[in-house]
Structure 1
Amino acid sequence: MRSWLTFLLMGCCAVPAAWAAHGYALWGDLKYPAGFAHFDYVNPDAPKGGELRMVSNLRYSTFDKYNPFTMKGSPPAYLSDLVFESLLTGSMDETASGYGLLAEDVDVATDRLSATFRLRAEARFHDGSPVEAADVKHTYEMLISPQASPGYATLLQEVAGVDVVDKRTVRFRFKLPNRELPLTVGSLPIFSRAWGRQPDGKAKPFDQIVTDTPIGSGPYRIGPVAFGRDITYARDPNYWGRNLNVNKGAFNFDAITVKIYKDNTARLEAVKAGEFDFMTVYSAGDWARRIDGKLFKQGVLVKKDMKHRLPAGFQSYVLNTRRPMLSDPRVREALGLAIDYEWMNRQMFYGGYPRVTDLFGNTDCQATGTPGPEELKLLEPWRGKVPDAVFGPMYRPPVTEGEGHSLRENLRRARQLLADAGWTYRDGALRNAKGDAMVIEFLDSKEGGARTVSPWIRNLEKLGITLRFATVDFALYQQRLDKFDFDMISLAFQGSYNPGQEMQEYFGSKRADVEGAANYTGVKSPAVDAIVTKLTRADTKAELLPACRALDRVIMHSHYLIPQWTLSSHRVVYNQQRLAYKEPMPPYAKAEEWLMFSWWSTKP
Structure 2
Amino acid sequence: MAFRWCAWKKTAAGLAFAGAMSISGLTAVPAANAEEPEWHHATALTGTPKYGPEVTHFDYVDPDAPKGGTVRLASSGGFDTFNILAQKGHAAPGILTVYESLMEPSLDEEDISAQYGVLAEAVRFPDDFSWVEYRMNPDARWHDGEPVTAEDVVWSFEKAIELDPRRKFYYQNVSSVEIVGDRTIRFTFDTSGNRELPKIMGQLTVLPKHWWNGTDDKGRARDISRASLEPPLGSGPYKIKEFSPNRQVIYTRVEDYWGKNLPIRAGTHNFDEIRYISFLDDAVRFEAFKGDQYDYHVERSSSQWAKRYDFPATRDGRVVKEIFPDNSSGVMQGFFLNLRREKFQNPDIRQALNYAYDFETTNEIVSANLLKRVNSYFAGTELASSGLPEGKELEILEEVRDMVPPEVFTEEYQNPVGGNPQNVRANLREAVKLFRKAGYELKDRKMIDPKTGEQFTIEFLYTDKGRERTLLPYAKNLESIGIKPVLRLIDVSQYVNRVRSRDFDTVVLAVGQSLSPGNEQREYWGSESADNPSSANYAGIKNPAIDKLIDKVIFAEDRETLVAATHALDRVLLWNHYVVPQFYSDETRTARWNRFAHPEKMPEYGTGFPDIWWYDEELAAKTGAAK
TM category, shorter: over 0.9
Alignment CA distance shift 1:442-1:35 (3 Å)? same
Please point out which of 101, 105, 115 is paired with 2:118: 101
Cα deviation for residue 445 of structure 1 reads 1.6
Q: Which residue matches 1:238? A: 256
Q: Which of 561, 567, 583 matches 1:565?
A: 583
Distance 1:217 1:323 in 2: 46
Aligned to 1:166: 181
Q: CA deviation at 1:511?
A: 0.8
Structure 2 residue 145 is matched with structure 1 residue 128: yes
Displacement after TM superposition at 1:206 (Å): 3.4
Q: Which residue identity does 2:203 align to in structure 1?
A: S
Q: Render the CA deviation track for 1:258-295: whole Å, top value 9, x for unaligned.
A: 11123122112111121211110111121111123222
Contact 2:26 2:43 survives alignment (8 Å):
no
Distance 2:24 2:475 in 1: 47
Question: Do residues 579 (structure 1) and 596 (structure 2) align?
Answer: yes
Query: Quick check: 2:89–2:227 contact (8 Å CA) kept in 1?
Result: no
From 497, 518, 524, the equivalent of 1:506 is 524
Aligned equivalents of 1:588 and 1:274: distance in 2?
Answer: 28
Question: Greater shift after overlay, 521-530 or 101-110?
Answer: 101-110
One-letter amino acid matched to 1:43: D
Letter of the 2:117 counterpart? G
Residues 1:111 and 1:384: Cα distance change in structure 2 (over 3 Å)? closer
Q: CA 1:27 to 1:547, structure 2 compared with 1: closer, same or farther past 3 Å?
A: same
Question: Using the alignment, how far apart are the partners of 1:307 and 1:28 within structure 2?
Answer: 24
Using the TM superposition, give the Cα deviation of residue 491 of structure 1 relative to its aligned residue in structure 2, in angstroms.
0.8
Distance in 1, Cα, partners of 2:400 & 2:63:
54
Once residues 101 and 325 of structure 1 are traced to their aligned partners in structure 2, the CA distance between those partners, rounded to angstroms, is 49
Query: Whole-Å Cα distance in 2 between the matches of residues 213 and 163 of structure 1?
Result: 29
Q: Equivalent residues in 2 for 1:118-517 (5 A)? A: 118-145=135-162, 147-148=163-164, 150-176=165-191, 177-199=193-215, 206-400=224-418, 406-433=423-450, 434-517=452-535
Asked if 1:525 corresponds to 2:539, the answer is no
Q: Distance in 2 between matches of 1:137 and 1:517?
A: 24
What's the offset of the Cα at 1:381?
A: 4.2
Q: Counterparts of 1:202 and 1:132 in 2: how far apart (Å)?
A: 25
Give deviations 1:443-482, integer Å, cap 9, x for gaps. 1121111121111101111110011111111111111111
Checking the alignment, whether the CA contact within 8 Å between 1:139 and 1:191 is kept in structure 2 is yes
SS of the equivalent of 2:373 reads coil
Paired residue type of 1:596: P
Partner of 1:600: 614
Q: Deviation string for 1:3-33 (max 9, x for gaps)?
A: 1469xxxxx9634354631111111311111
Deviations, residues 408-446 of structure 1 (Å, cap 9, x unaligned)? 111111111100101111144111122111111011121
Decide which moves more: 517-526 or 367-376. Answer: 367-376
CA distance in structure 2 between the aligned counterparts of 1:188 and 1:469, rounded to whole angstroms: 40
- The 3 A distance-change label for structure 1 pair 66 and 368 is same
**Are 1:87 and 2:102 an aligned pair?**
yes
Cα shift readout 1:527-584 (whole Å, capped 9, x = no counterpart): 11111112111121232222211111111110101111111111111122x2111133
RMSD between aligned residues: 2.1
In structure 2, the CA distance between the partners of 1:466 and 1:303, relative to structure 1 (3 Å rule), is same
Q: Is the 8 A contact 1:71 1:516 kept in 2?
A: no
Please name the residue that 2:5 is paired with. none
Percent of aligned pairs with the same residue?
36
C-alpha deviation, 1:86, in angstroms:
0.8
- Alpha-carbon distance in structure 2 between the residues aligned to 1:281 and 1:307: 14
Deviations 1:314-361 (A, max 9, x none): 111100010111111100100010111111111110010011101122
1:273–1:295 CA contact under 8 A, matched in 2 = no
Are residue 62 (structure 1) and residue 73 (structure 2) matched?
no
Partner of 1:9 in structure 2?
Answer: none
Q: Is the contact between residue 399 and residue 405 of structure 1 (CA under 8 Å) also seen in structure 2?
A: no
Distance in 2 (CA, whole Å) between partners of 1:411 and 1:584 is 49
Residues 24 and 98, structure 1, Cα contact 8 Å, conserved in 2: yes
Q: 2-side partners of 1:151 and 1:35: how far apart? A: 38
SS of the aligned residue for 1:276 comes to: coil
Please say if residues 88 and 226 of structure 2, whose CA atoms lie closer than 8 Å, have aligned partners that are also in contact: no
**Is contact 1:107-1:115 (8 Å) kept?**
yes
Deviates more, 1:32-41 or 1:64-73: 64-73
Q: Which amino acid aligns with 2:49?
A: L
Alignment coverage as a number of residue pairs: 588
Report deviation, 1:384: 4.1
Counterparts of 1:488 and 1:24, CA distance in 2: 40
- TM-score, normalising length from structure 2? 0.90
Unaligned runs of 5+ in 2: 1-7, 14-22, 30-37, 621-627
Distance 1:5 1:137, change over 3 A: farther
Looking at structure 1, the residues matched to 507 and 539 of structure 2 have their Cα atoms a distance apart, in angstroms, of 10
How big is the shift at 1:363?
Answer: 2.5
Q: Does 1:76 align with 2:92?
A: yes
Q: Does the 8 Å contact 2:129/2:197 carry over to 1?
A: no
Kindly indicate whether the alpha-carbon contact (under 8 Å) linking 1:2 and 1:90 is maintained by their aligned counterparts in 2: no
- Aligned residue for 1:521, secondary structure, equals coil
1:16 aligns with 2:27: yes
C-alpha distance 376-203 of structure 1, shift in aligned 2 (>3 A): farther
SS of the residue corresponding to residue 379 of structure 1 reads helix
Q: TM-score, normalised by structure 1?
A: 0.93
| Cα contact 1:63–1:228 (8 A) shared by 2 | yes
Q: Which residue is equivalent to 2:19?
A: none
* Distance (whole Å) between structure 2 residues aligned to residue 424 and residue 233 of structure 1: 59
User: Does the CA-based 8 Å contact 2:338-2:539 persist in structure 1?
Assistant: yes
How many Å separate the matches in 2 of 1:424 and 1:382? 34
Q: Give, in angstroms, the shift of residue 311 of structure 1.
A: 2.7
Task: Tell which deviates more after alignment, 279-288 or 424-433.
Answer: 424-433
Change (3 A) 1:206 1:344: same
Secondary structure of the 1:459 match is helix
Q: Deviations over 1:99-156 (max 9, x none)?
A: 11111111122322111111111101122211111111111111111x22x2212221
The amino acid across from 2:27 in the alignment is: P
Identify the match of residue 10 of structure 2 among 3, 16, 34.
3
